[in-house]
Structure 1
Amino acid sequence: MVQDFRFYKELDGRWYVEIPEWKGPKEDLEMVQGADSMLELISGDAKECYLTFADVPFDGAEVLVLEHVREPNLGGGGDYFLHKYEGETTLLRLWLCEVTNYVFKGLPEQIYFRKVQQE
């Protein structure tokens, strides 16, 4: 699976992913517990950014490594680790919720991503 996603920050500072086919509540698409910090790092001062995600390596991709699968009663999804971004050490831990299961049809051991440059 390789797919581009738009992430956007609302006026209250909360980050969300745009998934038009998502049938659940918008709150499920909010980026929290480190995912928001990752988007701040990637976006700089921008209020939105586009990322390509894949469950297989591709040229120029950064990598998130699965550290722990959460039990459904603890929010589900998985805890991931971003060791570096653009060659700089980040040591960022983040939680990716059950929406990750929806997108990838499971929790990949590694998630590859790259910022899509907008014109």
Structure 2
Amino acid sequence: MKDTFRFYKTADGKWFIDLPEWGGSIDDLQMVDGADTMLDKVSGYSNECYLEMSDEQFEGADRIKLVQDLTNTIGGGNYIMETYRGELYNHEMWLCQVTVDVFYKLPKAIFIAPVNL
């Protein structure tokens, strides 16, 4: 699965993934626990960014690696973004259970690349 996703930051500084088809609470789409600060970096500290994301490697992508599967406790998993734009980053984050809805599984790795629109 490879697709482009929009992320946006609200006036009160909260990051969300934009999933118009989402039927649950908007709170479920909030990016927290390291995912928010990762989005600050990849957005260039702006209020919006688009990321091409896949569970398979593609050219120009950085890897976010699963380090702890939390499916049976709080859901989602703990990940580490090893590099950003090819440079060492080692940024830890938690990605919630919505990750499973997006990828239809909890991926062992997620590959991302910023998209300039």
Q: If the TM-score is normalised by the length of the shorter chain, which range does it land in?
A: over 0.9
- Residues 56-94 of structure 1 show CA distances to partners (whole Å, capped at 9, x for unaligned) of 111101100000011444x20010001110122211100
SS at match of 1:33: coil
Could you tell me which residue of structure 2 aligns to residue 16 of structure 1?
A: 16
Could you tell me which residue of structure 2 aligns to residue 103 of structure 1?
A: 102
The question of 1:50 aligning with 2:60 is answered no
2:38 and 2:18 map into 1 onto residues whose CA distance is 16
- Residues 39-67 of structure 1 show CA distances to partners (whole Å, capped at 9, x for unaligned) of 01101132100001101111101100000
User: Which amino acid is the alignment partner of residue 40 of structure 2?
Assistant: E
Q: Structure 1: any 5+ residue segments left out of the alignment?
A: none
User: Which amino acid is the alignment partner of residue 78 of structure 2?
Assistant: D
> Given the superposition, is the C-alpha separation of residues 80 and 30 from structure 1 closer, same or farther in structure 2, using an over 3 Å criterion?
same
1:116 and 1:3 map into 2 onto residues whose CA distance is 11
1:45 and 1:77 map into 2 onto residues whose CA distance is 25
Q: How far did residue 27 of structure 1 move?
A: 0.2
Q: How many correspondences in the alignment?
A: 117
**TM-score, length-scaled by structure 1:** 0.94
Taking only aligned residues, the RMSD between alpha carbons, in angstroms, comes to 1.0
User: Which amino acid is the alignment partner of residue 10 of structure 1?
Assistant: T
> Within 5 Å, which residues of 2 pair with 1:72-87?
72-73=72-73, 75-87=74-86
Moved over 3 A (4+): none
Identity %: 44
